[in-house]
């Protein structure tokens, strides 16, 4: 049996690991092992997702927690190196673009253990984003690249990655949605929040560029207050954002605002239940841009750029400057928002393609690779 470590660390990782874990469990040649670095640790940022996505508790928990970038990267490397040395996995699979992704890829590469990056090749072109550094570092050193969209293949080829190392597998976040579709529909979050009779938008924000300075966050809060004139807002507040709202004295205004409901971070089923019934989503999340494109829901992304351009070129996502947020939400309410289509291989079967790729690359099967994109 191939021993395969799946690295899970932070909220957006869990919905990428869960379908792959499940698909690997269904083989008779792979033994998937979930390693949690502990980057996210609150019950509603971690445990809830293991429950909602029906994953067993992690086999290893590194309990690294929060800290500066160097502390987190170094802490994960030191802790994971010990596990990798004692366990000697045959393969390490890292997902996404968080600090733990780059840290565990570095550990694997230095120990000579082959590393696969799931969601490889995405680029915002903006090195002020910590995630962009993590993407570049991870993709510089890993052995196999599983990409979600053709633009990712193009970036990797431009950066000199051997085409033979790239498999275009599609978007695994959609697998999680499809896997849990019925459970999501069965949630009663909309009823519980009194949202059955009026249009509402879901809000989620956590990028340092939006929340870490008062100069960025105060105007954003003012736009949310103005937006509530057009439709109700449900703001599921990330712990980073909660802290900043308190630091800058902005929490009270939001709590007191009619038409704005603040909640703690929601579990996956509850959150997706809300998203599915929403008139729009206001976000700076990577994953939420993808989920809204899949579901055809207007997505207003409060960022200057995105590493997920297919959500704009094909989907329902648009980049919105903070001062224009309320006006754009008014457009949504008036029915003026572009429709989208689903990108290719965002179909709920990415995990199967990952498993086929791993099997072939481990020398256990001779299957053909998936479509590769020629360098433009
Ligand atoms: C991290 C990722 C980001 C991802 C996001 C998903 C990096 C560099 N950033 O950002 O790419 O989009 O997760 O949500 O890897 N905190 C808690 N409880 C927790 C986790 C965090 O209170 O369970 C608080 C702590 O004060 C911590 C802060 O949130 O210092 C930030 O956490 P951290 O993991 O460093 O970054 P995120 O903003 O969560
Ligand atoms: N999400 C959730 N509850 C929330 C906010 C987000 O379950 O309160 C889910 C969302 O559906 C998506 C993932 O978390 O699947 C995205 O994670 P996040 O926005 O934290 O990170 P990013 O994708 O920006 O890296």
pLDDT in tens, the chain (376 residues): 999 999 999 999 999 999 999 999 999 999 999 999 999 999 999 999 999 999 999 999 999 999 999 999 999 999 999 999 999 999 999 999 999 999 999 999 999 999 999 999 999 999 999 999 999 999 999 999 999 999 999 999 999 999 999 999 999 999 999 999 999 999 999 999 999 988 999 999 999 999 999 999 999 999 999 999 999 999 999 999 999 999 999 999 999 999 999 999 999 999 999 999 999 999 999 999 999 999 999 999 999 999 999 999 999 999 999 999 999 999 999 999 999 999 999 999 999 999 999 999 999 875 444 444 433 2
Residue nearest to atom 17 of ligand 1 (CA): 239
| 187 vs 79: CA distance, rounded Å | 37
Burial (Cβ within 10 Å: 0-12, 13-18, ≥19) of residue 32? buried
Residue nearest to atom 4 of ligand 1 (CA): 98
Q: Closest ligand 1 atom to the C-alpha of 40?
A: 23
pTM: 0.96
Residue nearest to atom 7 of ligand 1 (CA): 98
- Cβ atoms 18, 93 nearer than 8 A: no
| 105 vs 76: CA distance, rounded Å | 11
| 225 vs 108: CA distance, rounded Å | 47
For residue 240, how far is its CA from the centre of ligand 1 (angstroms)? 6
| Tokens describing residue 77 | 């490397």
| 319 vs 304: CA distance, rounded Å | 7
| 23 vs 5: CA distance, rounded Å | 14
Q: What is the distance of C-alpha 77 from the center of its chain?
A: 22
Residue 117 bears catalytic tag? no
Q: Closest ligand 2 atom to the C-alpha of 96?
A: 25
The ligand whose atoms approach the alpha carbon of 14 most closely is 2
Mutational test site, ligand 2, from 267, 282, 287, max ligand atoms within 8 Å of CB: 287
Q: Which long-range contacts (CB under 8 A, 24 or more apart) does 131-139 make?
A: 131/97, 131/98, 131/286, 131/307, 132/97, 132/307, 133/102, 134/97, 134/98, 134/99, 134/101, 134/102, 135/97, 135/307, 137/102, 137/105, 137/106, 138/94, 138/97, 138/101, 138/102, 138/105
What CATH architecture is 189-333? 3-Layer(aba) Sandwich (3.40)
Q: Which residues are paired to 236 by β-bridges?
A: 263
| 249 vs 20: CA distance, rounded Å | 42
Q: What number of other Cβ atoms are within 10 A of residue 25's Cβ?
A: 11
The ligand whose atoms approach the alpha carbon of 130 most closely is 1
| 97 vs 286: CA distance, rounded Å | 10
CATH code: domain 2-170+345-361 is: 3.40.50.2000
Q: What number of other Cβ atoms are within 10 A of residue 70's Cβ?
A: 9
Token pair 């959609």: residue = 174
Q: Which residues are paired to 301 by β-bridges?
A: 283, 319
Q: What number of other Cβ atoms are within 10 A of residue 85's Cβ?
A: 11
- Cβ atoms 23, 351 nearer than 8 A: yes
- Cβ atoms 230, 330 nearer than 8 A: yes
The ligand whose atoms approach the alpha carbon of 99 most closely is 1
For residue 241, how far is its CA from the centre of ligand 1 (angstroms)? 10
Greatest Cα pair distance in the chain:
61
The DSSP secondary structure of 27-68, one letter per residue, reads: SSSEEEEEEE--SS-STTTTHHHHHHTTPPPPSEE-------
Burial 215-241 (b: 16+ CB within 10 A, else e): ebbeebbbbbbebbebbbbbbbbbbeb
For residue 19, how far is its CA from the centre of ligand 2 (angstroms)? 16
Q: Which one from 5, 155, 206, 328 is the annotated catalytic residue? A: 206
Q: Closest ligand 2 atom to the C-alpha of 97?
A: 25
Q: Range(s) for CATH 3.40.50.2000 in the chain? A: 2-170+345-361, 189-333
**Which distant-in-sequence residues (6+ apart) come within 8 Å of 313 by Cβ?**
none
Helix (H) or strand (E) segment spanning residue 129: none
For residue 142, how far is its CA from the centre of ligand 2 (angstroms)? 25
Tens of pLDDT along 90-139? 999 999 999 999 999 999 999 999 999 999 999 999 999 999 999 999 99
- Cβ atoms 40, 10 nearer than 8 A: yes
Token pair 């939400």: residue = 329
Burial (Cβ within 10 Å: 0-12, 13-18, ≥19) of residue 214? middle
């Amino acid at each position: 049996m191939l021993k395969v470590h799946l690295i899970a660390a932070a909220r957006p990782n869990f919905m990428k690991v869960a379908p792959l874990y499940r698909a690997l469990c269904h083989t008779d040649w792979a033994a998937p092992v979930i390693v949690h670095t502990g980057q996210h640790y609150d019950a509603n940022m971690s445990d809830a997702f293991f429950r909602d996505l029906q994953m067993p508790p992690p086999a290893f928990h590194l309990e690294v927690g929060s800290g500066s970038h160097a502390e987190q990267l170094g802490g994960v490397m030191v802790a994971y190196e010990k596990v990798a040395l004692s366990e000697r996995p045959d393969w390490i699979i890292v997902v996404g673009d968080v600090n733990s992704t780059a840290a565990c890829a570095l550990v694997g590469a230095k120990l000579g253990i082959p590393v696969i990056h799931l969601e490889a090749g995405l680029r915002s072109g903006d090195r002020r984003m910590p995630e962009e550094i993590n993407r570049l570092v991870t993709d510089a050193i890993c052995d196999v690249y599983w990409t979600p969209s053709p633009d990712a293949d193009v970036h990797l080829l431009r950066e000199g990655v051997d085409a033979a190392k790239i498999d275009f597998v599609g978007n695994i976040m959609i697998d999680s949605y499809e896997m849990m579709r019925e459970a999501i529909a069965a949630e009663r979050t909309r009823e519980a929040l009194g949202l059955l009779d009026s249009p509402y938008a879901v809000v989620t924000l956590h990028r340092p560029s939006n929340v870490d300075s008062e100069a960025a966050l105060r105007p954003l809060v003012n736009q949310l207050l103005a937006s509530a004139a057009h439709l109700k807002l449900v703001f599921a507040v990330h712990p980073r954002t909660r802290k900043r709202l308190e630091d800058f004295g902005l929490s009270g205004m939001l709590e007191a605002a009619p038409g704005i409901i603040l909640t703690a971070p929601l579990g996956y089923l509850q959150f997706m239940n809300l998203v599915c019934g929403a008139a729009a989503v206001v976000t700076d999340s990577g994953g939420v841009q993808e989920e809204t494109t899949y579901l055809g829901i207007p997505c207003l992304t409060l960022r200057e750029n995105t590493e997920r351009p297919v959500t704009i070129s094909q989907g329902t996502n648009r980049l919105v400057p903070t001062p224009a947020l309320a006006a754009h939400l008014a457009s949504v309410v008036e029915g003026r928002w572009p429709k989208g289509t689903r990108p290719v291989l965002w179909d709920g079967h990415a995990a199967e393609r990952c498993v086929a790729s791993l099997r072939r690359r481990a020398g256990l099967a001779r299957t053909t690779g998936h479509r590769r994109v020629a360098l433009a």
